[in-house]
Amino acid sequence: MLRFVLIVVLVISGPIQAKTLQILTMENAPYSFTQNNEVKGIGVALVKEAFKRMDQPIQVSIAPWARAMEQIRSGTVDGLFNVYRTAERELFADYSELLQDETVVLFVRKNSTITFNGDLAALSQYKFGTIRGYSYGRTYDKTVADGVINKIKLLTLTEQALRMLMMERIDIAPSGRHVGKYYLHQLGLQASVRELSPPLETVPTYLIFPKKNKSDALRRRFNKALQSMRDDGTYEKIYQTFHPLLEENLSQEPRT
């Protein structure tokens, strides 16, 4: 009788809804940005589509990078994306399969005499502006860890770094190439800033899950959904949707 009552209650109440997961990223256009109170971008679209295929509701929010990483460490959120892989982060986070690649470059003022031959040590005399808690790939991170580059202004946003570059408060602003070009367009600084060559490196980015939350099953499901997107062409279609934001010479009007 009790079993019958439980079945009736379940039928009447309908299917149990999955818990909405809290997924974070940072303001990092064109991969993630806020427009008209909505979080958008290439990475956002990829992550949302993958979780949709999993029938798993999520809430994507923008947060300062250092705070977001600390929330992953403590397990108070369920995921964070646009993350580079580092040995330190692997201690408290599990990584998805590759989400997307990002090429890291160095930006300087147009009239700067700074040149780059691929050796970061040759730039040690200059002041860098970087995002607090952010990785710029193994090459740059190791140079900083070794103390070779030690003149660093810690900031919150790439946009802020580019503004400070123009104010001559820093000399070099490392950034993902597309991210930097996007914000230069927004700030109307394309003609005032140039990219040093060669690039630092192309770095894979991921969605990470807190080890504290024991999310391995969720991670495997996400990987499977992401692979299905690649297989059926959805991954490429999402990139094509955002193609104007990836153009080296952006032609659209600045975002408001």
Residues 34-59, mean pLDDT to the nearest whole number: 96
**Mean pLDDT across the chain:** 90
Question: 124: buried, middle or exposed (CB in 10 Å: 19+, 13-18, 0-12)?
Answer: middle
The residues, any chain, with a CB within 8 Å of residue 172's CB and separated by 6 or more, are 106, 107, 108, 114, 123, 126, 127, 128, 129, 165, 196
Does residue 255 sit within a domain? no
Q: How many domains does the chain have?
A: 2
Residue among 20, 45, 127, 134 at smallest CA distance from 86: 134
Residue 15: count other Cβ atoms within 10 Å of its Cβ.
7
Residues 212 and 178 in one domain: no
| pLDDT above 60 for 117 | yes
State the number of CA atoms in the 13 A half-sphere of 26 facing the CB.
Answer: 22
Residues 143-150, mean pLDDT to the nearest whole number: 97
> Dihedrals φ, ψ of 155, to 5°?
-130, 180
pLDDT tens across 209-254, in order? Answer: 999 999 999 999 999 999 999 999 999 999 998 877 665 444 444 4
pLDDT tens across 166-191, in order? Answer: 999 999 999 999 999 999 999 999 99
Residues 31 and 61 in one domain: yes
**So what's the pLDDT on residue 249?**
41
Residues 84 and 163 in one domain: no
| pLDDT above 60 for 124 | yes
| pLDDT above 50 for 128 | yes
| pLDDT above 70 for 142 | yes
Taking a C-beta distance cutoff of 8 angstroms, is the pair 21, 61 a contact? no
Task: Identify any residues that bridge with 108 across adjacent strands, giving them in sequence order.
Answer: 194
pTM recorded for the entire structure: 0.85
Structural domain containing residue 183: 103-202
